[in-house]
Structure 1
């Protein structure tokens, strides 16, 4: 894996020698490195945000003085995240050993985890077994509990960020708190968001709504994929799920409906709960989800546990070193000069395979008339032995020794009340698993649990009996009230299950409090509840965040124009159901949000553009119409800024719905465009913008027009039953068009690309169009890749003029490609199927390269007279390396002598 700005292999970075690159992205580079003193492999993450930093020699520096503030702010966030992660020591969370600054930037040193990603595992085995999924969820929820208790969330849980170790345990990699914070501040670092795994709240600009429920959704989707066998391409993203549900369409099927009978019901129910689109309907804390999944208490991975067995989910027991007092059956030994290393786990009862690793400790200084000797000694032993004994009868040299052994050890069963108590045997930190084998005797322990008094006592481990420990409750619950202004603001406590009420009883601890009211800015924050210090709950005064607009007169304003004039930058106007008429100008960063059913919140104009937008305004959940008869008046006229248009119903009975010009950079997502005799979207000038997950339906004229030097990103939109071009590009238009779906197109070309346009069309899905699909003419040079053109009844690609498109890795079914004039396309590595005429028809003086294409059942008719590739007399293409399979004439026909045809078979 190469990277132009990476440190070279062999580079000495502090104590580490760089061995290669493990991964890279917009935020930085992760290296594989060796600690030259420990001779141990680590992963090292380097802060190098390529949007505003570059490497100059060995040093990382901001690209410009303007970038310096963003770089330094990001560096501080990177170090803060490293500091928090370094506190975690959990077997299922990738551990940060240290962090340091050097070469103008910062580095984070992490465990190098052996194993394979869950993503690769699911590619090989799309469905995991019940045991594998339960192990995965047990490990990762255990790790997430510790992460969330520290006030952090992961933000990017997906199969690619989960490593499955060789022993089957799972570990979570690649936290994203710093990266998301930097992206939100600068607006330039790529947002952490993986469609299919990211919940709905991660699509918002603000991080206020993120919490444990965010990670629970993502891990729930990982489990959903593992029980359904769906690939990433079949997982519906949260925005699409929300949009589909709002329109009454079929949503993503539940795990229970797809996999009932294959997995335990409580597992499937728990997964379905975790992947609720509405974050309020998901488990608000990992503990709640673990209980639903059947992972009672604190489930621990068997990674690092004695005997390789999972801990008792009801209690985690940490064992310590024994007293230094000699035992009756063993003489006293002097302490070693250095502390003995922690012992390996004891073998499980009946495990005769020798999994116990006995630690040999060299004891020196014993010389009472005899030489030194070695004793095999376990570091874990009772204070006082009990139970059985061991008797050895040794015969003379050269003969076998006869040893009579009676039981001196057995399984330890501890009964705890509460069952979640943690037991520390003073000293070593060894972990207990239920039923582990230990020598009989007495052990000194410290027992503790949240909400109970800690206790230190001695446990008596005998052959017959089960020691028990009962703790006394130490912490009771206290009345908790959030004092707020205004007094009728709604309160939620986000990290517990019960609904909030004034004076509710809570134990001391940390609570994430949300206070919100329409027309005010929402408060979300953590509160440390310390009732013994006189704390009765936080006081929250909400700041006005705008106004309520209600046409019936029950809000702050009944007139939308007056509310817009009064609003300040950052304000939200909550618009209640009603009809609001006028021509509205938005030049401030304010948000107009429909409060209720979108279809009942109608904003319309009969004279000028309904909305003229020149700033960073947001329109959300509105029905926006132009209903007048004046020419060239738009429902939305965007002249500048970076506005957001989301979840709106947009129409114009006379002209274009949305027009954008100049340097406007809008974000247009999840809208419904319909009801216009003209264009749905018309972008020109130097506009950019993102158009994602919109639906364009039933339009007569070209739907999405890109002119001049406009360069939009157009992703995952759906075009249904439109009669003209779904896309029309001309002049010097550019842009990226990816994952768009076209259905029910008219009889003209579905996509027309002209002028000197250079767009990229990737993964376009066209099925059963009424006419031709791609028209590329004049001097256009588009790239068309990985698209699916199926059910064709006319040409899939038509090239004319001097155009030179690149048509690569596409699937074409039903009709072929035709090349005219002096055009010179590059048509490589495509698959053409079931075509009655010529697969590729190269006419007139056309040129180009046609290589590596596959033809299945192409060129057939009653007498198989159509060649798969027909080269006319004056054409001079290069046709090589193509393959022809069943059906058809399976050949390249050259009418003239100008073509370069070879190695086709």
Structure 2
């Protein structure tokens, strides 16, 4: 259980004050939630590990009111405000935001009941590793930005974005937690004991002004910028633990030096614009972070055989002893550059002649930084926990197999890569599913095992890594996975945009819509009904349907989630405006089959979605082996047997369809 500031901040007794509860009876809220033990050690509210007696599960329960900051005169207004906040938080459904299950109001407190999450905080991660490589930091930053986008679209402000309130789960999922001091955009400025609410080192400069209108989405994005800086630079951009110290740091040095940020430099600079009107908005930050993750020249992580001694700690850097990955200075030594600060590259010049608000030139700045840092090696840092696979054989990099031919090159590749990591989805019944015991199943999983066998990997040497429609390309780019087999539709546009190569198809799906079986407002029996009645359709962001729906005249929401499972959850929520989910027929059939009482699949429409095995570009040896391996799988009886086991129950076919024809695998 993550316990650095807890899942949602600090704990205390049921009346908000820490106390020894070892012999005291447990408080039970509304006869249902039994408060077991406080979580964390901060001071931003009451948060408890609790037991839900009705559903027999453990949850996190947090009180939204700091009763020490209210008086009898302000109590009623504070209760109303907390009630509204709880209702807004409960409506946020996003994989990068902690799930709120329930809202409870007692005589003098408003509680939110949240999912109890396992994992470590980003603060824990930084205490252990001190710095993160650019790809890892960009991935964490992107997921944080996606969570903030969902929060802000619900008109909620987090107000305490920092590493301690960011949970990094096994598998790489990032979750924003601790909404104990969240508020509405435009709400009255509220202070705690006369000070600004939040953690000083992460507070935006506009919040310090006496006439400040209070927090805005821009102030949450400033905190994201501070966190990104801290991840790659190993220290806070503006030193000090008190408000006045941070204020002085921002005023004296508003442009903190970026030594190791590489292509993240323009993103961090844009988020740390002191003028909130010139600061990057969340959409721009997401786009820039995606661009960083898609950068084809991101280096393979480098790790020294014997780490060099760590540099003397900076006062604002966490004091935990250094562990792998290496510190920035160590990475520079490994690359051959001298360790002195004078040898390190200077941060890129700001676009627009020094105007922090102009970012039209940020891509050019990235190119300049990449060129400089590739020469000096300043940000060639290992991704923590990534496994550090060596470079592929020379044939992968240089365009020709080593002496002895392709087989010798593959033997060398296999000897350097004892395990094969495959990205797959966790929430698509029949196609790709991971149960509570961690067991993977489905057609994609069986294809993955069969293909791995052709590559020389038995089942015990294959690892599955959770991916979503929104992050699978970045997981390939970061080196988190070797291949992705996750209902990835093969298109030339995707190969170019995601900088990947496809081998396949291994299956061809049709398109369809999933709707509620019983609706009091809409009778939906075919695609035309969905279109003419203008009901809201949900699909996964970055899917092939994301742009197609509007082009074809369907009604969509203003933003789409990262997974189809999130769409289905919204569809089943009677409070939601979503009445249909658009995706592939076989994918949606899995959800309908799992919940036939509430869901029905509409007849398939025109078109075909060919599923391919995705791998990074520039891997001709790996692509050649995957191509020949998949050809073997399709040539035998394995494919038909897998279809009948996994997909026949969903499609209703009594015999397997004709096998897809593998497209020629061009060289790279």
Please classify the TM superposition score into its range, dividing by the shorter chain length.
0.3 to 0.5
Structure (1/2) with the larger helix percentage: 2
- TM-score, normalization by structure 1: 0.33
- TM-score, normalization by structure 2: 0.44
> Which has the larger Rg?
1
Structure (1/2) with the larger strand percentage: 1
